[in-house]
Amino acid sequence: MPAYKAERTLEKTYREVMTQQVVDWVIVVDDDSSDRTAEIDRTLPDTLVYSHIQNRGYGGNQKSCFCGTIITLLRSVARPNIFPKRPQLIFGEAAHTAWAV
pLDDT of res. 36: 94
Per-residue pLDDT of the chain (101 residues; tens, 9 = 90+): 889 999 999 999 999 989 988 888 888 888 989 999 989 988 999 988 888 889 888 888 888 878 877 777 666 666 666 555 554 444 444 444 444 44
Domain edges within the chain: 2-100
pLDDT of res. 16: 92
Angle separating helix axes 57-78 and 87-100, nearest 10 degrees: 140
